[in-house]
Amino acid sequence: MTDVLDRVQDNSAQAAPRRAAPKAQRPGIVDCDIHPLAKSAAEFKPFMSAHWWEHMTTYGSGVRQAFASTLAYPRMAPEVSRADAWPPGGGPPGSDLDFMRAQHLDANGIAHGVLIPLRMNAGNQRNLEFGAALCRAINEWQIENWVVPEPRLHGSIQVSADDIDFSVAEIRRCAQDRRYVQILIPPRNSEPLGRKRYWPIFEAAVEAGLPIGMHVGGVSGFPAGAGTGAVSYYYEEHQSLVQAMQAVIVSMILEGAFEAFPSLRLTCIEGGFGWAPSLGWRMDKHWKVFRSEVPHLKRAPSEYLREHVYLTTQPVEEPEKPEDLARLMEWIGYDRLMFSSDYPHWDFDDPAYAFKHRMTDEQKQKLFAGNATRLFRLEAA
């Protein structure tokens, strides 16, 4: 006896990538924010000495918060991820290269993707020697486990800003290898990133010809609410990611880091961008009053912002009138905005849907590929 359903096509088990065909025909996109995850910590073992592996499995991560293996504000989505990003073969989202290819790289026409490893807060470890070992392991793991099997992906050199000597040495070691395209520093550190103690890292970055990438997060030890006290909600903490980003940009500009290192470039990743114009306007207004306090600044602060700071787009702000965002993007300049998806995290931006306003072909080319191709010295997409 045959069931009625045998006459009905059932695609519920189908896992084919959504809209793969039309997207693949578009010119290649550069995605500035892809999060790879290890299936388990054991993936790092080949890249650590016996001592540090023993240390990690015995003591684990130690940052300035009470939680060793989670975030201070638990996310609304497990692993901070899209509910559909869990690989069918097991493991957490972002841990399966084949599934990442099918669901994101191939399906969304990604020609180049920049890896941003976040797990374990390698850049904020309080035990500096362990932090250095962890950074090195994560840097090598990116190349061996991701970039070698998938050359569309590129590595970020994770450093530990509190350990200046290590950071400089690690930048010099990795910069020989062009498969790394930026230096990754969290925005929340012991001190604001523009402070002079961090300048040797900037000097090494300039010497290596690599931009600094700053992805939201990090553990400063202070409450996440922009220093105003501990906030109540994840939603509230999420807003403070932008405030931390702004604080670092203000620090970098006002302390004179960009004046001292004219070729230094900073990419702010996942901190939004719509706020950048008003931040520039406010700094410029007060610079007229305070310029005698910071005589090392030779130009209006907004000029450093526009020249030195790149902003990735995800999560795109969505004002009621999309053209309002278009005006802000014009102020920032289409030569400083770069597409990012944040795959596989829950607030992923789909390149086909993220922007609600019209862009010219030239603007699209810069935002989706051209700027990042030039900044990261990639092969033209």
Partner 1 sequence: MSWHVVARADEIGPGQSKLVTARGREIGIFNVNGDYFALANKCPHEGASLCKGRIIGLAEADEPGQYRLSRQGELLRCPWHGWEFDIRTGQSWCDPENTRVRAYSTRVESGEELEQAAAEAKAEATKDGKTDGKAKGPYVAETFQVSVKDNYILVEV
> By rule CB under 8 A, what string of x and - marks binding of each residue 12-41 to partner 1?
x-----xx----------------------
Stretch that binds partner 1, among 1-9, 52-60, 145-153, 209-217 (CB under 8 A): 1-9
Q: State residue 292 phi and psi, 5-degree precision.
A: -70, -20
Query: Which tokens go with 74?
Result: 């638990």
> To the nearest whole angstrom, how small is the minimum distance from the Cβ of residue 85 to partner 1?
8
> To the nearest whole angstrom, how small is the minimum distance from the Cβ of residue 38 to partner 1?
23
For partner 1, which is the closer residue by CB, 86 or 141? 86
Strands (E), 225-330: 266-269, 309-312
Site for partner 1 in 99-138 (CB under 8 A): none
Residues near 130 by beta carbon (within 8 Å), at least 6 away in sequence: 52, 55, 56, 59, 62
Q: Is 4 in the site for partner 1 (CB under 8 A)?
A: yes
Residues near 343 by beta carbon (within 8 Å), at least 6 away in sequence: 31, 33, 34, 35, 82, 85, 94, 100, 103, 104
For partner 1, which is the closer residue by CB, 95 or 158? 95
Stretch that binds partner 1, among 8-16, 29-37, 152-160, 285-293 (CB under 8 A): 8-16
> By rule CB under 8 A, what string of x and - marks binding of each residue 67-106 to partner 1?
---------xx----xxx----------------------
> To the nearest whole angstrom, how small is the minimum distance from the Cβ of residue 346 to partner 1?
6
Tokens 């650590």 correspond to what residue? 48
For partner 1, which is the closer residue by CB, 162 or 349? 349
Q: Is 8 in the site for partner 1 (CB under 8 A)?
A: yes
> By rule CB under 8 A, what string of x and - marks binding of each residue 250-279 to partner 1?
------------------------------
Q: Is 234 in the site for partner 1 (CB under 8 A)?
A: no
Q: At 153, is the secondary structure helix, strand, or coil?
A: strand
Query: Which tokens go with 19?
Result: 């809209």
Tokens 């015995």 correspond to what residue? 58
Site for partner 1 in 339-368 (CB under 8 A): 346-350, 352-354
SS (H, E, C) 215-244: ECCECCCCCCCCCCCCCCCHHHHHHHHHHH
Q: Which amino acid is at 342?
A: D
CA angle 174/180/182 to nearest 5° reads: 100
Q: Using CB under 8 A as the criterion, which residues of the chain lie in contact with partner 1 when the complex forms?
A: 1-5, 7-12, 18-19, 76-77, 82-84, 346-350, 352-354
